[in-house]
Structure 1
Amino acid sequence: MEVRFVLRKAQYKDIEQINEIYNWAVLNTVATFDMEERSFVAAEAWFDMHQDPYYPVYVVESQGQVIGWGSLSPFHPRPAYKQSGEFSIYIASGWTGQSLGDTLLKVLCQEAKELGYHTLLGLITSTNEKSISLAKKHGFFEAGRYREVGTKFGQCLDVMVLQKIFN
C-alpha cells in the first residue's frame, strides 16, 4: 500500500509533534548531540526563531499526524554568514524508508535557492550513513570532518560537514 502524505510549512499546532520526533532522536540516536529532551518551552522558542521567512520549517504529515520535519537554520550568527544555512531533517520512528527525508531535502534545497542562499550545509554524524547518502544524492559533497567532537552512548563521534553551493 502506498503511503500518502502532505508536505507543508509547519504551523504552531505542529510544535508538540515536531518536538516528540526530535526528542525521540535525542534519546535513541546520534543524529543530534543533545543529551536531554527539549522542553516544550524550548521548542516554542526554536519555532519562533523559525518564523523568519528565511528559516522555514516544513512538516510531512499522514492522516493529520506529523511524521517528519525539516528546517533551514542559520549556519552561524555573525552577519557575514547570512547566505549560508544549515539543514536539519528528522523522521518519526517507524516512518523511515518511505522517502520522506528525500522529499524534505528536495524542498529545503529549492527553498534555500529561492531565498538566495549561496550555500547549504549539513552537519551529520559520520556513522549516519543513510543521511550522508541522502545529502550526496541531492548534490552535497563532503567539505570537511570534525574528528571525535561528540560523545554519546559511549561513542566518540566524528561529524561530517556536507555542503551544497548554489550557482
Structure 2
Amino acid sequence: MKIGIRIAESHDLEQIREIYNWAVKNTVATFDLEERTIEQNIKWFNEHHTRYPLYVAIDQETVTGWGSISPFHPRPAYRPTGEFSIYIAPNFQGKGIGDVLLKHLCSCAKTLEYHSLIGLITGTNKASLKLAERNGFVQVGHYREVGIKFGEWLDVVAVQKMIANQRLEKII
C-alpha cells in the first residue's frame, strides 16, 4: 500500500466524518459521546486553515486517515503550541499510516514555526501512546479519571515534542 498525504479538501469531509464517527462509537480515542453532524464537520473544517492544517492520508481515492493541528488553548500566549489529532479508518489501522501522518504534522509544525506540539491521549490507548513515543514525544502529564465513556473512568496522558527552539523576540 502506498500512502499519500495531502491537504484535506471539502470533498473529503464525508470520509473524514465517517472515520471520526466510527471512533466516537467504538473507541475511547475521543471523548466525544455523540457523532458529528455534517454541519459540525463543516464548521470544524473551516477552522482548519494555514496555521491549523488538516491533512488526509489517501490510498488511491480512499481517505484512510486524517491528522490535524489545532490550537492547544484559545488564549493568545499559547499560540506557539499546537495540539495534534490523528484518526485512522478501522480497516487501515496498524499499517503505518499514523506514523506517516504524525511525521508530516511535525514537519508542518516546524515550517509553521511552532515551538511545541502536544497530544492528549487516553491512557488505555496503547497504540497511540506508542505512536507518539516512536515519533519523539515524551509524557509530560497524566490526568487521572478525567472522563467517562462506555461506563468507565478514563485517564488522559499528555505528550509533548519540542519542535523548534525559537528566540522569544521572534514570537512576541
TM-score of the two chains, using structure 1 as the length reference: 0.96
Please, what is the CA RMSD of the aligned residues?
0.7
Structure 1 unaligned segments of length 5 or more: list them.
none
Matched, 1:136 2:162: no
- Name the SS for the 1:19 alignment partner: helix
Q: Which residue number corresponds to residue 40 of structure 1?
A: 38
CA distance in structure 2 between the partners assigned to 1:94 and 1:154 by the alignment: 26
Matched, 1:154 2:143: no
Q: Which residue number corresponds to residue 50 of structure 1?
A: 48
Instruction: Give 1:5 shift.
Output: 2.7
CA distance in structure 2 between the partners assigned to 1:41 and 1:65 by the alignment: 22
Matched, 1:71 2:81: no
Q: Which residue number corresponds to residue 93 of structure 2?
A: 96
TM-score of the two chains, using structure 2 as the length reference: 0.94
- The number of residue pairs the alignment matches comes to 164
Structure 2 unaligned segments of length 5 or more: list them.
166-172
Instruction: Give 1:140 shift.
Output: 0.5
1:14-38 CA-partner distances (Å, limit 9, x unpaired): 1111011000000000000000000
Q: Which residue number corresponds to residue 30 of structure 1?
A: 28
Instruction: Give 1:63 shift.
Output: 2.4
CA distance in structure 1 between the partners assigned to 2:108 and 2:60 by the alignment: 25
